[in-house]
Amino acid sequence: MSTIIDGKVLSLSLKEEMKGRIVELEKRYGRKPCLVVIIVGDNPASRSYVTGKIKAAAFVGMDSRLVELPEDVSEEKLLSVIDGLNADDAVDGILVQLPLPAHINEDKVIDAIALEKDVDGFHPGNVAKLWLGRPCIVPCTPKGIIKMIETTGIDISGKKAVVVGRSNIVGKPVAKLLLDRNATVTIAHSRTKDLAAVCAEADILVAAVGRPCMVTADMVKPGAVVIDVGINRIPCVKEDGTPGSRLVGDVDYESASKVAGFITPVPGGVGPMTITMLMENTIECFLRKQGC
């Protein structure tokens, strides 16, 4: 049976540490770090992510603001809100919850966020810096994944890492972070031939696909570190016999946990760490502004 890498427990201890740091920062600089989250429309999943972010900010004691814009807000209006926040000295981090409605160009919106306030690390300037190995804001989910791997005590250097998924927000940046730590990295995707054999070679396996329980025990090398990024809602029958739904990852936890050395659960794995890294990135942006 594998050891669980508990994202909730790890997040909580990191957030407790942040509480103390924020008290010190306020004493030293006369204000707390401030995160602004913008939500457009009322997509229930986006709403729940945004609520989690604002709650986490309150928990660590940083300032936060939620800007709520209607579904039919114009792109121009959203860009002008971002411009205003870019110019606001009391704001350290700006996050626009994705996805945006179809009439708004997401690239334009991401590009409009000031590089030094881009707490998601999605701005092309931050992406370029990440790939050039320069100091930058590292995207939250990949950053959290690396912290989780590091808690296992396993030395990433020289290990074979397989990342399944090549999105700009998870797959590619996590592959780069593993490469930076001297892993030998393979990025697999929907056209990869014999995915099972590729995965079974991995000492570190990161699944960021969005397909429920796709990674099964036969795809896991005995003793491997398995990081499950997927968040998939599947139908289930509730205790009272009525239809409901539950969250599962991209990894078939039941079977894979019998083979892996370490594994993250869903829920309670990568998800909480992503939010915690958002808090860390906001603090980092605050500190850079103070010239630290």
Report the interface residues with ligand NDP, using CB under 6 A. Answer: 141, 164-167, 169-171, 188-192, 195, 208-211, 229-232, 270-271, 274
Rounded least distance, CB 118 to ligand NDP, Å: 17
Residue 230 Cβ, how far from ligand NDP at the closest point, in Å? 4
Nearest distance, CB of residue 203 and ligand NDP, angstroms: 19
Nearer to ligand NDP, 85 or 170 (CB): 170
Give the residue ranges of DSSP H helices in 30-114.
Answer: 44-60, 75-87, 106-112
Q: Measured from the CB atom, is 32 or 49 closer to ligand NDP? A: 49
Note the helical H segments in 133-170: 140-151
What amino acid is encoded at 172 in this protein?
A: K
- Helix axes of 140-151 and 171-180: crossing angle, nearest 10 degrees: 50
Extract the runs of DSSP E, i.e. beta strands, from the chain: 3-4, 34-40, 63-69, 93-96, 160-164, 184-188, 204-207, 225-228, 232-237, 243-248, 262-263
Q: Please, which residue, 25 or 35, has the CB nearer to ligand NDP? A: 35
* Cβ nearer to ligand NDP, comparing 126 with 141: 141
Q: Which residue is nearest to ligand NDP (CB)?
A: 167
List active site positions. 53, 97, 120
Give the shortest CB-163-to-ligand NDP separation in angstroms: 9
Round to whole Å and give the CA distance between 144 and 249. Answer: 16
